[in-house]
Amino acid sequence: MSRIKCTISYDGSGFAGYQVQPGQRTVQAELEKALASIHKSRPVKTAASGRTDAGVHAMGQVIHFDTDLSIPEEKWPAALNSLLPDDISVLKAERAQPDFHARFSAKEKEYRYRIYFSDVRSPFKHHYACMVRFPLDMEAMEEAAESVLGTHDFTSFCSAKTEVEDKIRTLKEIEFLRKEGELVIRFTGDGFLYNMVRILTGTLLEIGSGKRAPGEMRKILEKRNRIFAGKTAPPQGLYLWKVSYGGTG
């Protein structure tokens, strides 16, 4: 058996999320259907670096699967892409060590949240960015972002539905990338809790709009209670951008 690591990209607009769900169209189900076809109807299970919700996109999601086929690693993208729908693409495939795991071997993840400024919804951006109608105080947002960098208990910034008990994560960087009419917030860390990036973004937007003071960000973190943070930002602005593994993959 060989373990194959794939980097994939997908448009999350038409999916109920990454993970298989009964009766729903999901990224994992489409991938495993394509793999089953290549393996002559034998089921092949995949593991991913993390789950994405309905409407969330990926530029650099990573998965792995085991196979007994002798297909060269460079041939896997073409083989899978010929069977996958247009909203999923396998960008790269490589042979991994037997103990590599797409989720547990990850050392760092990067998410990006895309915002566009407009009074009118754009049909070309509606599924790929969050619309904001008002100008934002970028200095206030940057000040607030600085206060949550480092290793902390991020209970306040994760969904109350999460089943993960250990909520300590290291948030290494929050960067604001501005260009004409748009803002991208880049988050880098050793791992992220369920809805963590979207709740951080929603809270930063409330600070940028003047609804909260920048100093509240640190206080929210210290409360360790979801009810004190801002609204969860919409899913369509979120992208799983990159997963890094160091030398394990």
Neighbours of 59 (CB within 10 A): 16
What confidence tens digit (pLDDT) does each residue in 144-155 have? 999 999 999 999
- What residues form DSSP beta bridges with 93? 6
Tokens of 130: 């969050």
> Does 18 count as an annotated binding residue?
no
CATH 3.30.70.660 given to domain 108-244: yes
Asked whether the beta carbons of 89 and 110 are under 8 A apart, the reply is no
The catalytic residue positions are: 53
Taking the CA atoms of residue 208, residue 235, residue 151 and residue 227 in that order, the dihedral angle to the nearest 10 degrees is 70
116: which residues sit within 8 A by CB, 6+ positions away? 122, 125, 129, 130, 131, 132, 181, 182, 183
Q: How confident is the model at residue 247 (pLDDT cuts 50, 70, 90)?
A: low
Give the residue extent of every domain in the chain: 2-96, 108-244
Q: What's this model's pTM, rounded to 2 decimal places? A: 0.95
Domains 2-96 and 108-244 share a fold: yes
Report d(CA 107, CA 117) in Å as an integer: 34
Mean of the pLDDT values across residues 122-132? Answer: 97
What confidence tens digit (pLDDT) does each residue in 149-204 have? 999 999 999 998 888 999 999 999 999 999 989 999 999 999 999 999 999 999 99
* Domain covering 2-96: architecture: 2-Layer Sandwich (3.30)
* Helix extents (H) in the chain: 27-38, 76-81, 138-146, 196-208, 216-223
